[in-house]
Structures are given as C-alpha cells and as structure tokens.
Amino acid sequence: MGHNAMVFELGTFFPYRVRKFATTVSEALQQIYSVEYGLTTSEWRTMAILGTKNILSASEIVERSSMDKVNVSRAVQSLRSRGYLKRDIDGDDRRKSVLRLTDEGIRVFDDLIPKVRAVEERLLKDLSESDLLIMMDLMERISQRAEELVKQRETSG
C-alpha cells in the first residue's frame, strides 16, 4: 500500500479504451462486408479504393489504404478469383499492374456501399455535426502524438 492512488487499471487506460472502441466499431462494419458479403478487411478496402471508376496499380492502393503490399497482393488475387477484379499489365512499365473492378465487382460494390454508409450513419446518429468535427479533431491530434512517439523511439531506440 502507500501509493494506492497509482494502482493501474486496464479498464481506464486510454490506449485500451481506444482499441476496444475500434474493435466494436469494426465489428459493426464487418457485419456487412464480412458476414454478408464474405470479404476480408483487405478485400473490402481494395474494392472501396477502386470503386466504380478508379484504375490503379497495387502500389497506389497501398498508398491509399494503410495496408502493406503483401496484403494488397493477396486481396487482389482473391478478388480476381471471385471475378470482382481485373488485372492488366501496364504497357509502359511492365512491373506495374493495372487494376479495376469488373462489372460483377461494380455490381457488388454498388450493393454494398449503401449498406456500409447506413452503418456509418447509425454509428454517428446521435452526434451533432460539431460533435463529429470534434471527434475527428481529437483523433487527429492524438494520432499525431502517437506518430511522434513511434518516430522518436525508432531513431533514438
């Protein structure tokens, strides 16, 4: 005893709360893309980035998705095998792939999007416009601190 005020409680520890929060939110969304459509997170993100019109290389998907290239490569394979995605080779740089959704992929995408939007709406239902802005701002500020911490340790560690 003596320093009881300092007892550590996981349940009130901020990073733990954040992770739990994110898991809960993710599960709500996975109800749609995973349970209902059988897509993995990487597959869903890949489709979401391509959308109906974009034509991108794998590395452009990497840039926009916070996935690594292995994840993207596997998602592309799997989406191809389902017939949701078409891969061509870039004529000017034959290392590059040229990816776009197939008509079938677009059909699924168009079906899926209103549903994931509905989930987003439900999640944010009782937030005011300004609540949402505040939330985004807070997440942004905290993320910046987190990135600082990681970078600092990387160099000094």
Partner DNA sequence: CTTCTATAGTTACGATTGAAACCAAAAGTC
Partner DNA sequence: GACTTTTGGTTTCAATCGTAACTATAGAAG
Binding site for DNA (CB under 7 A): 40-42, 57-60, 62, 68-74, 76-77, 87, 92-97
d(CA 51, CA 67): 17
From 2, 7, 129, 155, residue interacting with a copy of itself (rule: CB under 8 A): 7
Does position 22 bind a copy of itself by CB under 8 A?
yes
Closest CA to 82 of 65, 56, 101: 101
- For the chain, how are helix, strand and coil distributed in percent, rounded to 5? 70, 5, 25
Among 5, 10, 94, 129, binds a copy of itself (CB under 8 A): 10
Tokens of 131: 């609540």
Q: Is 31 in the site for a copy of itself (CB under 8 A)?
A: yes
The nearer residue to a copy of itself, 55 or 150, going by C-beta atoms, is 150
Residue 63 binding result from DNA, a copy of itself, none, given CB thresholds of 5 to 8 Å by partner type? none
Q: Which one of residues 5, 14, 38, 81 is an interface residue with a copy of itself (CB under 8 A)?
A: 14
Stretch that binds a copy of itself, among 70-78, 80-88, 94-102, 132-140 (CB under 8 A): 132-140
Q: Does 29 bind a copy of itself (CB under 8 A)?
A: yes
C-alpha separations of 154 from 15, 63, 64 in Å: 20, 21, 23
Q: Is 46:72 a contact under the CB 8 Å cutoff?
A: yes
Least distance (Å) between residue 111 CB and DNA:
22
Question: Structure tokens of 17?
Answer: 């709360």
Q: Where are the alpha helices (DSSP H) in 31-128?
A: 41-50, 58-65, 69-81, 103-124
89 versus 118: smaller Cβ distance to a copy of itself: 118
Contacts (CB under 8 A) with a copy of itself, residues 63-82: 64-66
